[in-house]
Structure 1
Amino acid sequence: MTLSALYEWMIEQLLISTSGLSGKQLSSSDPKTNWTIDDKIQHAQKIAQLTKEIQTLQHKIYKEKQFNKQVKMNLVLQKLRQALDNLTRTL
């Protein structure tokens, strides 16, 4: 095992523990995906950002009294969830 492989493995373990992704999703052993460490980190950051936006919007929907505003926010929430789902599938 080379030093770069060890470093990459450590980064993957940190990303798995912090982003909630599975090890299979971040594994670079798949020949179709040649993800660098930077790519994996950026991808995990995008997922974390979308997850935070979803949680914030869910809280706003819960606090909103007007039904029509809740409906509009729910449409945005569905789009964010779709984007998150697409990001987790692209790994």
Structure 2
Amino acid sequence: MLGLPKTTEFNKRISKQKFYENLTVTPAIKRVFIDQIKVIYWRNKIAATTVNLAPGETVTEIEVFEIKLNSSQLDAAVLKQIDKELPYHILFLLEYEGRYQAWMAYKEEAGSGTNAFKVGTYYHTDWMPEDELPLKLDGLNIDKVYENFVRQIAGDVLQTNNEESLKESVERDEKRKQLQKQIDSLQAKVRKEKQLNKQVQLNVELKRLRKELEDIL
């Protein structure tokens, strides 16, 4: 898939039952596996052993999972559960009626002495034909390939002119979302507030938050 080298191809069908029997899943997540997912394929393995790239320091390999859906909706909690428990980075390709979305999370080791991972924000593309997905194998090592996959999927929200790390870009995006949520909430309060002095106070705070948002963009 995605024009990846043949040396990366795995193309193994994985039973949904294997996932929800071997992962720590709640009854609700098990129901998502049963109701929303048709079939799962392990399509590719991107690693120093399968492509002519240097090993990564934090990313040892990237697995490409194709998940065929019963509808265009999938509860992202099921992706997060898979990501948390499998000890490698995963590029999810969701398929429904011949169109695809690419999903990938910012993911790092939990640091608990286990193989568990801390899974952060998910980014995804719109639905589109597979050959239009904005993904290409780019980088000199597996760390960089992973970083570029996440940035390619996220699009403009993680683009930067600075030499910031992927983690810094993700943290900046999280801060942006948090500030925008606060701004939206304050704007609603201003519209409802009848007292002029309280409106003034709220607008001062609103101006401060807008300036903070502008500074991180």
Q: TM-score range by the shorter chain?
A: 0.7 to 0.9
1:69-89 Cα offsets, whole Å, 9 max, x none, are 01110011001101100111x
Residues 39 and 60 (structure 1), Cα distance of their counterparts in 2 relative to 1, 3 Å cut: same
Match of 1:52 among 170, 181, 184: 181
Residues 9 and 81 (structure 1), Cα distance of their counterparts in 2 relative to 1, 3 Å cut: same
Is 2:179 aligned against 1:40? no
Is 2:143 aligned against 1:4? yes
**Which AA in structure 2 matches 1:46?**
K
**Which AA in structure 1 matches 2:168?**
D
Is 2:203 aligned against 1:74? yes
How far has the Cα of 1:14 moved from its partner? 4.3
TM-score, normalization by structure 1 = 0.72
The DSSP-based 3-state class of the residue aligned with 2:175 is: helix
Question: Residue 193 of structure 2 aligns with which residue?
Answer: 64
The runs of at least 4 aligned residues of structure 1 exceeding 6 Å deviation read none
Partner Cα distance (2:212, 2:168) in 1: 18
Check whether the contact 1:15–1:44 (CA below 8 A) recurs between aligned residues: no
Residues 54 and 13 (structure 1), Cα distance of their counterparts in 2 relative to 1, 3 Å cut: farther
Identity %: 31
The DSSP-based 3-state class of the residue aligned with 1:35 is: coil
Partner Cα distance (1:13, 1:74) in 2: 37
Residues 3 and 56 (structure 1), Cα distance of their counterparts in 2 relative to 1, 3 Å cut: same
RMSD: 1.9
1:37-66 Cα offsets, whole Å, 9 max, x none, are 111111111111111100010011111111
Bigger share in strand: 2
The DSSP-based 3-state class of the residue aligned with 1:5 is: helix
Partner Cα distance (2:209, 2:148) in 1: 30
Q: Give the length in aligned residue pairs.
A: 78
TM-score, normalization by structure 2 = 0.33
Bigger share in helix: 1
Which ranges in structure 1 are unaligned for 5 or more consecutive residues? none
